Structure 1
Amino acid sequence: MRAATALIAAVSAAGAVSALPADDASSLILHPKPTKPTKPSKPSKDVNPFEGKVHYVNPVWADKLDQTYNSFIKQKDFANAKRVRKVQAVSTFVWVSRLSELANIDGAIATARKEQRRTGKKQIIGLVLYNLPDRDCSAGESAGELDSTQNGLQRYKDEFLKPYVAKVSAAPDLEFAIVLEPDSLGNLVTNMAVPLCARAAPIYTEGIAHAIAALQQDNVHLYIDAAHGGWLGWADNLPLAAAEFAKAVNRAKEISGTNATTVRGFSTNVSNYNPFNATVRENYTEWSPSWDESHYATSLAPFLEAQGLPAHFLVDQGRVHAPGARKEWGEWCNVSPAGFGQVPTTKTENPYVDSLVWIKPGGESDGQCGFAGAPKAGAWHDEYAQHLTKNAHPSVDKNNSVRKDGMARSRAVQL
C-alpha cells in the first residue's frame, strides 16, 4: 500500500534540508525532544476506546523480528538485539488484506482472549480492513485481488466483509479498533484524473459504506482512513476530504436504515513516515497548515465537525523519518533514514487524538523502491527492520515490556 499521492505537489516547496546519513543517524538526531503544539479547543466529551486497555501485541509480526534479532547477534550488536526484544513487545495492528488472511482475525482473537484471561486486563485488538476492488488505484504497489469489472464489489461484500463481520461479532468479550481501507477515499479527493481511480470511485464509497453499516457492534470502533497531512492536509483539500468522508458515512446510513450509523473517527499516516510532532519543519511543508500529523488532525477536525462527523483520530507512528530524509512528501517508499516511532500512547497533548499507534508493521516492505534491495510490497525486509531498530524512538528503550524466550507476550504498557 502506498501512502502518498501524485498530486500533492501542487504547492511548490523551497529547497529541501539535506538528508542525514542513512545508517548513522542516531536516535537523538532522528527523534529530538518535540516542542508541544498549541492546544486546540477540546472536542465534546466522550469515551476514548483506548483508555485503560492493553493494546494487542501481534505475535505473528513479532515472530518475523526474530530474524532481525539473530542478525544483530551475528554482528555482535547486543544493544540493538536487546532493542529488538523491546520492539517485539510493542502493539501493532493485524492486517486483513486478502480473502486468505481472514484467518488472521481468528488468531488475534484466540491470543487476545488468552492474554485477557491471564492478566485480567481488557484487550483492544487493532485490525486493518483492506481489500477493496481496484485497490491502490493510483500506484499499484499493493494492488489487491478483487477487480470491479469481475464482480469485485459483490465478492467484497459476500466473501470478505460478511466473514470479517461474523468473526468480530462472535467475540463480544473483546474490543476492536478497525481501520477502514487505507488510501482509498484519499484517492477520490485528488486522483480522479487517474483512469483506474475514476472507475473505482463509486466502488470505494459503496464498499466502505457497507463495511461501516455492517460493523456497528458495541465492541467495534471504526476509523475511516484519512491519508496523511501531506496528502489531504492542504487548505484546499481539507473541506473536500471531509465531504468525501461524509458521503461514505451517509451512504452507510442509507444502507443500515438508521441515522445512528457512524464511525468513531479517522486514521492518519498509515504506512507513511510523518512525525506526529515535527521537531523540524521541512521546507516542502511551507504552505501547509498540516505540517505534521498533530497539526493535520487539528486542521481537519473543524471540517469533519461541519459535516456532522466525529473528530477523533488514530495516528500511525510505526515508522517515522528523520529530519531531511525526504525532498518532498511524495517520497513514500521505504524512506530512510527512519526509525520505529513513538510507542502507542493516549498521552498526545492533542485532545482530538485518541491514540498514537503502530498500524503499519515495520520491516514489511512498501515495494521495490526506496531503501536499497527492498523486495515487493508486504515482503519482509530484514535490512530495513535493522535500520528502523537502530534509529528507534527513545520510548522503545523505555518500554518495560520485553519479548523473552522467543515467545510473544501481550505485556504492553496499559494505555
Structure 2
Amino acid sequence: MRSLTRMAAITASAVTALSAAAAGPAVAVPRTSVDSAGAAPQLVVNGTFAAGTAPWWKSANTAMAVEAGRLRVNVTGGTANPWDAMIGQNGIALAKGKSYTLSFDASASAAVSAVTTVQLADSPYTRTLTKTISLTTASKRFSFPFTSSLGTSAGQVSFQLGKNAGFTFHVDNVSLTETTIPSPTPTATTTPKPGSGPLAMTSGFYIDPDSNPAIWVRNNSGDARAARIKASISSKPMARWFGGWSGDVRAAVSTYVAAADSADKLPVLVAYNIPGRDACGGHSGGGAGSESAYKTWISAFASGIGNRPAVVIIEPDSLGDFGCMDDTAIQARNRMLTYATQQFRDKAPNAWAYLDAGNAGWVAAGTMASRLKNAGVGNIRGFAVNVSNYYPTVQSATYASSVSSSLGGGAKWVIDTSRNGNGSNGEWCNPAGRKLGAPTQVDGGGGTEMLLWVKVPGDSDGNCGIAPNTPAGQFSPAIAIRLIDGS
C-alpha cells in the first residue's frame, strides 16, 4: 500500500518566487461538466487528457505531451524546490467549508516524491490541500478527501515535480469533485427488510460509484470487456475498503457514508489498517505504524460514521493470523481490536460492526470463538466469515454457526460471497476457476444475517496465482472476466 505523507506548507514568501509562467495562463473553459458516474460536478477540465493538454499549463523546467492516453511530463533535474518544475490547472471554484476529493493515477520513471496541491492560483497562494506523493514506475491511484478552507473562483490544482533528478512523470484520470453533493440513488439489488438498526433506516444497499471496477469501466468504455464487467460487477453493491491510503480517514469515511445516507442506502465499509496486517499471507502487509497510531485512526474512522447507518467489517485476517505472530504481538492486537469494537459501539451507534473471523478452512471454530471473545466481539453486532476467500455459503454458514455456538449462541454473522460461486479449491491467492457468488442481500439463510460482497471482485489478492504481476488491491479486468465466467 502506498504511503501518504503530509508535507508542511510552503511559506507565502517562498511561493511568491513562482514565475508568471508557473502560475499558468488563464483559459476560459466551462466548469459545470458532470463525471460519467453522475456523482457530482467535475471541477477539473480534461482530466483524462482525451482533448490534448489544454487547459493544463506547465512551468519552466518541464515539457508535456499526451502519450498513450496519459499526460507525460519530462522534468529537468537540478532544481532546488518542488515548485521549480510543475504543471497545473487554474480556474477551480471552491466553496469554503465544503468537502472535496482530489483523485488521480500517477507514476514516474524512477522512485521519486512530488507534491500535489489545491490552492489559490495567485499570491498569496494559500493552500487548502498539500500532499506529498511517493511515485514509482507502477501507476497508482491516489485519492485525497479534504474540506476547503478557501472560498474562491480562482483556485488551482498543481503537481510540483522539482527537487528531483531528471525523470518522466505520467498522470491520468485527474478528478476534483465536491463530495458533499450526493451520488444519484443507485438501484438496490436487494432491499433490506424492516427491522432494527441500519436495515430499518435505509432502502437498499449502496453501490459504490468509485469502486475499482467502476473506475475501470468508466475509463475503458471502448474495451470489449467493459459492458460485461459493468453488468456483473461494478453495478452491484460491494464494500469500500479504508486504510492508510485513505488520507484523513474521518473525512474519507464521512464523505462516503454521507453520500450513501443522502441516497437512503446502506454502505458497507472495511477497516483495514491494523499494524502487522496480513502477517501470514504477506501480500497486503503494512498497517498503522504503532498501536497508538492505530487507535487514533480507528477512533477517527468510527467518528466519521457518526449516527448514520452503515455496516463495517473490522480488520480482515486479524484473528486468523495468530499462527504467524508471537505472544506480544497477539496481546497488542487484542488490545487494538477491543478498542476498535468499543469505538464503533460508542461513536457509531447505528452501524452494525463485525469482527473478521477468518474462514471455514483456517482456524477451528472453538479457537476462533475464543479469539473473538478476547478481541471484544461482545461490544458489537457479531463477526464476518469468508472475507476474501472462496468457501461455499453453506459451508461458511455451518462454520459460523459453530463459532456462534461456542460464543454462547448470541452472536450474529455475515458471509462474504463475492467470489464463492464455485467454492474453494484450497488456494487463497488468485486461484483459477473461481466464480462470482450470490450478490449482497439480507438473510442468507441458515442463520446468516447478510450475504455481502466484501472483497471487491476483480481486485487482486497479490502477485500470485492467475495474476502473478498484479499487486494486492489492484483491479484486473482479466481476473474480473474469469470470475464472471467461472474459469
> TM class, shorter-chain normalised?
0.5 to 0.7
8 A Cα contact 1:321 1:336, kept in partner = no
- Greater relative contact order (Cα < 8 A, sep 6+): 1
Q: Out of 342, 347, 353, which is 1:213 matched to?
A: 342
Matched residue, 2:401: 298
How many equivalent residue pairs?
288
Q: Out of 309, 314, 318, which is 2:418 matched to?
A: 318
Q: Out of 389, 392, 398, which is 2:484 matched to?
A: 389
Q: Does 1:157 align with 2:295?
A: yes
CA distance in 2, matches of 1:163, 1:100: 12
SS at match of 2:388: coil
8 A Cα contact 1:68 1:382, kept in partner = no
Matched residue, 1:263: 380
**For the structure 1 residues 184 and 82, does the alpha-carbon distance in structure 2 shift closer, same or farther, using more than 3 Å as the test?**
closer
- Amino acid of the structure 2 residue aligned with 1:375: T
- Amino acid of the structure 1 residue aligned with 2:434: A
Matched residue, 1:283: none
Q: Does 1:92 align with 2:92?
A: no
| Cα shift at 1:58 | 1.0
CA distance in 2, matches of 1:353, 1:144: 31
Q: Does 1:138 align with 2:138?
A: no
Matched residue, 1:356: 451
8 A Cα contact 2:197 2:309, kept in partner = no
Structure 1 residues 100-109 or 377-386, which shifts more?
A: 100-109
- Amino acid of the structure 1 residue aligned with 2:233: V
Q: Does 1:368 align with 2:463?
A: yes
| Cα shift at 1:104 | 3.6
CA distance in 2, matches of 1:381, 1:199: 37
| Cα shift at 1:85 | 2.6
In the TM superposition, what whole-angstrom CA distance separates every residue of 1:12-64 from its partner, at most 9, and x where no partner exists?
xxxxxxxxxxxxxxxxxxxxxxxxxxxxxxxxxx8475467411111111523
CA distance in 1, matches of 2:229, 2:271: 30
1:35-46 equivalent positions in 2, closer than 5 A: none
In the TM superposition, what whole-angstrom CA distance separates every residue of 1:225-271 from its partner, at most 9, and x where no partner exists?
11011112xxxx22221111111228xxxxxxxxxx62111100000
| Cα shift at 1:65 | 4.2
In the TM superposition, what whole-angstrom CA distance separates every residue of 1:283-329 from its partner, at most 9, and x where no partner exists?
xxxxxxxxx112112222210116xxx32111001112536x62xx3
1:7-406 equivalent positions in 2, closer than 5 A: 47=196, 49-50=198-199, 53-61=203-211, 62-66=213-217, 70=221, 74-75=223-224, 81-82=227-228, 84-98=230-244, 100-101=246-247, 102=249, 103-116=251-264, 123-147=265-289, 152-158=290-296, 160-169=297-306, 172=307, 174-188=308-322, 191=323, 194=324, 196-216=325-345, 217-232=348-363, 237-249=364-376, 262-277=379-394, 292-305=395-408, 310-320=410-420, 322=422, 326=425, 329=426, 331-350=427-446, 352-391=447-486
8 A Cα contact 1:137 1:143, kept in partner = yes
8 A Cα contact 1:133 1:200, kept in partner = no
Runs of 4+ displaced beyond 6 Å: none
8 A Cα contact 2:269 2:310, kept in partner = yes
8 A Cα contact 1:94 1:104, kept in partner = no
CA distance in 2, matches of 1:83, 1:66: 7
| Cα shift at 1:187 | 2.1
- Amino acid of the structure 1 residue aligned with 2:338: A
CA distance in 2, matches of 1:238, 1:145: 27
CA distance in 1, matches of 2:359, 2:405: 16
CA distance in 2, matches of 1:135, 1:203: 13
CA distance in 2, matches of 1:74, 1:163: 39
**For the structure 1 residues 293 and 183, does the alpha-carbon distance in structure 2 shift closer, same or farther, using more than 3 Å as the test?**
same
CA distance in 2, matches of 1:69, 1:339: 23
In the TM superposition, what whole-angstrom CA distance separates every residue of 1:308-366 from its partner, at most 9, and x where no partner exists?
xx32111001112536x62xx3x10012211221111224221x211101000011110
| Cα shift at 1:210 | 0.7
1:401-412 equivalent positions in 2, closer than 5 A: none
| Cα shift at 1:155 | 0.8
8 A Cα contact 2:344 2:380, kept in partner = no
Identity %: 25
Task: Report the RMSD for the aligned CA atoms in angstroms.
Answer: 2.6
**For the structure 1 residues 67 and 375, does the alpha-carbon distance in structure 2 shift closer, same or farther, using more than 3 Å as the test?**
farther
**For the structure 1 residues 321 and 353, does the alpha-carbon distance in structure 2 shift closer, same or farther, using more than 3 Å as the test?**
closer
SS at match of 1:230: coil
**For the structure 1 residues 214 and 59, does the alpha-carbon distance in structure 2 shift closer, same or farther, using more than 3 Å as the test?**
same
**For the structure 1 residues 104 and 391, does the alpha-carbon distance in structure 2 shift closer, same or farther, using more than 3 Å as the test?**
farther
Q: Please identify which structure carries the higher strand content.
A: 2
In the TM superposition, what whole-angstrom CA distance separates every residue of 1:78-137 from its partner, at most 9, and x where no partner exists?
xx8256334222111111121635254133123213312xxxxxx221111111111111
CA distance in 2, matches of 1:68, 1:390: 22
In the TM superposition, what whole-angstrom CA distance separates every residue of 1:151-204 from its partner, at most 9, and x where no partner exists?
x0011112x1232122111xx2x311111111111223xx0xx3x454420121
CA distance in 2, matches of 1:207, 1:137: 16
TM-score by length of 2: 0.55
8 A Cα contact 1:374 1:381, kept in partner = no
CA distance in 1, matches of 2:462, 2:381: 31
Structure 2: 5+ residue runs without aligned partners?
Answer: 2-194
